[in-house]
Amino acid sequence: MVPRPHTVRRVWQETHDTFTLELAPAAGDGAAPSSFAPGQFNMLYAFGVGEAAISISGDPARPERLVHTIRAVGATTKALARLRRGDTVGIRGPFGSQWPLGEAAGRDIVIIAGGIGLAPLRPVVYHVLQNRQNYGNVVLLYGARSPGDLLYAKELEQWRGRFDLEVQVAVDRAPATWRGTVGVVTNFIPRARFDPSEAVAMICGPEIMMRFAVQGIEELEMKSESIYISMERNMKCAVGFCGHCQFGPAFICKDGPVFSYESVRALLNIRGI
């Protein structure tokens, strides 16, 4: 219930409004770093300002490097954006459900990310690449607004150079100097190399984008119970007590954020739920 102080080890600016913090438990905090599963999130506390729910975007095999990618949009995230190396931040977590990496064993994986939605999916990529033999074809389809809004550009390039991972990146708009794809990320779905009858899809991005991605996947006659999405709602307590993150009968904080599409499909069509 109480945040554990963590020290900022490194800060990277990812895009004009998005940055990444690498944290480690503060000196004097004897406890070991918390391990986490891909898809889970922490509550990050900026001293005196407030808490924000931020997905964990680092390597699950290296929990001692706690990595969060944050978009500075509200009072708390803007305060977090002002943190520098050596500063302290409070952490509660990890909370929530995880991407179905067990269920995906032996099967193809199609990862579809939009905007900052790549952050909670990056641990999946790390895990899959470290355990590559356990999975079939793996495809990462990533969409962003413009080339300048792409997260983890260097890593994307490295991943694209691999023979065991298909990476496709699309932006909505680009200057003529951009040599990559312009268009919507869903255009990649019909031509990506995965077997729809066998694959597991993991999708995270703005709700509208996830809806289109699911439509694209279902056109390939993929089973909807093999599709997973990560949801976002207002969060205060992260443990199901405060009521804020309710989404129909579900609490995003403890039943989610990762849901099978099948379990939330009906709710996604109700406005203002």
Partner 1 sequence: MTEIALTVGTHSVLERASLDKLFAALSKRGFRLVGPTVRDGAIVYDELKSAADLPVGWTDEQKGGTYRLKSRNDGAVFGYTAGPHSWKKFLHPPAVRLWQADRADGAFEIKEEKPDAQKTAFIGVRSCDLHAIAVQDKVFLNGRYLDPYYQARRENSFIAAINCSQAGGTCFCVSMGTGPKAASGFDLALTEIREQERHYFVAEVGTELGAEILAELPHREVEGHEKAAADETVAKTAQAMGRQMDTTNIKELLYQNYEHPRWDQVAGRCLTCANCTMVCPTCFCTTVEDVTDLKGEHAERWQKWDSCFTRDFSYIHGGSIRATPKTRYRQWMTHKLATWIDQFGTSGCVGCGRCITWCPVGIDITEEVRAIREAPQSPKGSPTGDKHGNT
Partner 2 sequence: METLERILAAHPFFSGMEERYIQLLVGCASNVRFDAGQYIFRAEEEANLFYLIRQGKVALEAFGPERGPIVILTLEQGDVLGWSWLIPPHRYKFDARVVEFTRAIALDGTCLRKKSEENHDLGYEFMKRFSQLMARALQATRLQLLNVYELNP
Binding positions for partner 2, rule: CB under 8 A: 73, 114-115, 143-145, 149, 172-176, 178-184, 186-187, 191, 205-206, 208-209, 212
What CA–CA distance (Å, rounded) separates 261 from 226? 8
Report CA-CA distances (Å) from 242 to 4, 74, 245, 259, 267. Answer: 20, 20, 8, 20, 21
CB of 32 to partner 2, least distance (A): 37
30 belongs to the binding site for partner 1 (CB under 8 A): no
CB of 182 to partner 2, least distance (A): 5
Contact 196, 222 (CB under 8 A): yes
Q: How far is CA 149 from CA 68, 211, 243, in A?
A: 17, 21, 33
Choose among 115, 267, 141, 114: nearest CA to 201: 141
Q: What residues are paired with 204 via a beta bridge?
A: 113
Closest contact distance (angstroms) between CB of 75 and partner 2 is 14
Nearer to partner 1, 179 or 271 (CB): 271
Task: By CB under 8 A, name the one of 22, 65, 242, 260 that touches partner 1.
Answer: 242
- The nearest distance, CB 91 to partner 1, in angstroms, is 11
Q: Of these partners, partner 2, partner 1, none, which one is at the site of residue 48 (CB under 5 to 8 Å by kind)?
A: partner 1
| Interacting partner of 183 out of partner 1, partner 2, none (Cβ under 5 to 8 A depending on kind) | partner 2
CB atoms within 10 A of CB 119: 27
Under rule CB under 8 A, residue 49 binds partner 1: yes
Q: If binding is defined by CB under 8 A, does position 246 make contact with partner 1?
A: yes
- Per-residue contact track with partner 1, 198 to 237, x per CB under 8 A? ----------------------------------xxx-xx
Query: At closest approach, how far in Å is the CB of 209 from partner 2?
Result: 5
The residue type at 128: V
Please answer whether residues 128 and 109 qualify as being in contact, where contact means their C-beta atoms are separated by less than 8 angstroms. Answer: yes
Q: How far apart are CA 59 and CA 22, in angstroms?
A: 11
Contact criterion met (CB below 8 Å) for 199 and 226: yes
Characterize the bridge pairing of strands 181-182 and 200-204: unpaired
Tell me which of partner 2, partner 1, none is bound by residue 107, counting a contact when its beta carbon lies within the kind-specific cut-off of 5 to 8 angstroms: none
Instruction: Tell the smallest beta-carbon distance from residue 195 to partner 2 (Å).
Output: 18
Contact at 8 Å (CB) between 68 and 20? yes
| 3-state DSSP assignment of residue 53 | strand
What, of partner 1, partner 2, none, does residue 205 touch, CB below 5 to 8 Å by kind? Answer: partner 2
For binding to partner 1 (CB under 8 A), which residues are involved? Answer: 1-3, 5, 7, 26, 45, 47-51, 71, 73-74, 86-88, 90, 232-234, 236-237, 239-244, 246, 248-249, 251, 254, 270-273
